[in-house]
Amino acid sequence: MCVRRELVTAKIAKKNREVREENLLYCGLCPWFGKTGTSDMNCFRLLVCLLMMNRVLLINFSGGDRPGLTSSLAEILATYRVRILDIGQAVVHETLTLAILIEVPSGEEFTPLKKDLIVRAHELDLKIKFTPVSDEAFDHWVRSQGKFRFIVSVLGRVVTAEQLAKASSAISRHGFNIDRIERLSGRLSLTGRLENANACIELEISGEKDASGALRAELMELTHRFEIDIAFQRESIYRRNRRLVAFDMDSTLIQAEVIDELAKLHGVGEQVSAITASAMRGELDFKQSFTRRLSLLRGLPAVRLNDLLHTVQLADGAERLISTLKMLGYKTAILSGGFTFFGKHLQARLGIDYVFANELEIDDEALTGRAASEIVDGKKKAELLAAIAAKENISLDQVVAVGDGANDLPMLNVAGMGIAFHAKPLVRKSANHAVSHLGLDSILYLIGVRDRDLDRPEFRSSGAG
């Protein structure tokens, strides 16, 4: 019986020694480990000595993820009255990476805590690494709270390693560090890929200097080389707290220019389209071009307006975007150089809160070729946007404006986030953000909404109601 007990004791001692040696190797603090004639006890003493010199310690865990890992480790830290200074956890393909910055209380020995963490990490099949943090390094970390911080969103049908390499290289070259990377789009199946599925990766970056202008310009160059969009915005309290989204209507919320469609019905389509294209490129003053186009519609029977209500298609993702914004409590508005008859149709269909557009003058049941109200041009759109925000007691920093034409630039510039959607080159270049490869619902990524947030049963049931 005694011999058997001794064998069991020896086995346990050997296992404990292997665990200790394995984790000493991971800790990265033992320069003598593995050298001939060096005992593991010397390595252990060196580790304890180094750790006792620092009250602040960074502990890294890595391994397969499963429920209960964080709580199991936190229970040990709680036993020793440890103070959590910083913590971060990420799971990629069911593999966990957890980092905890701790402060060991004054007078508390770290040796027992370290031993318990090593044993628990072994039980959980996790690797563990200890890194002492000097006073200088800790002070630098505290001061870094004042860094310039931005959010970079990479959007496309797919995001490739080459695209990420080019974007991250630009970020580094301009003196920024990537602090966090997160996938906002849903998981994609390799065998049953959905047509027109979205891909979005969000990067949070920080830097000592505000080199955002140069970095933004370089990132925009990448969007021309690859079929991706890259949004660049300052990280602020307003980024995930937008409250009002205003849309241009024609070629933004819908896939047509209503005035062009009316012109086709009246047999003057080519003439009006040529003027429209020139105006959207910024080559003509909007009011003058609008007046010229509208005059060509003189005599069109008013009853023909209804022909367009169910033939013009919404932009891809429009319904999903608007329904999600409504569910989240956003106010929505249409600010259009188009016409009220179609804007009000969309208002009833989508539940838009505000509609401002041009009223067609009708006499003897036909269009007169004149507007019955003040023409809504670019300047007027910006004024209306500001007025709606003021009425709703919403800061302009909390406003998102979306449009595609030159006459949308004033409202894009006054909004906290202005987005050029499938826009003309001049507008893409002038706007702060541009979406050219995905549908309108991709804007949800830019306000921090993840696909998995919308897939939750409680959200789907609320949306259906």
* Active-site residue list: 248, 250
Q: Which residue has the tokens 């010229």?
A: 292
How buried is residue 364: exposed, middle or buried, by Cβ count under 10 Å (0-12/13-18/19+)?
A: exposed
Q: In this structure, are residues 242 and 325 in contact, taking their beta carbons and an 8 Å threshold?
A: no
How far is 335 from 351, CA to CA, in rounded Å? 15
Helical residues (DSSP H) of 269-317, grouped into ranges: 269-280, 286-295
- The backbone torsions φ and ψ at residue 61, rounded to the nearest 5 degrees and listed phi first, read -120, 145
CA dihedral (389, 394, 395, 398) positive or negative: negative
DSSP labels for 129-187?
Answer: EEEE--HHHHHHHHHGGGSEEEEEEEEES---HHHHHHHHHHHHHTTEEEEEEEE-SPP
Token pair for 253? 């919320």
- CA 199 from chain centre, in angstroms, equals 11
Task: Spell out a b/e string for 420-443, using b for 16 or more CB atoms within 10 Å of the CB, else e.
Answer: bbbbbebbbebbbbbbbbbbbbbb
The 3-state DSSP class for residue 433 equals strand
Contact 302, 363 (CB under 8 A): no
Q: Report residue 231 CA to chain centroid gap.
A: 8
Separation CA 129–CA 25 (nearest Å): 8
207 φ, ψ (degrees, to nearest 5): -155, 155
- For residue 301, what is the DSSP state? B
Tokens of residue 66, six digits: 């499963």
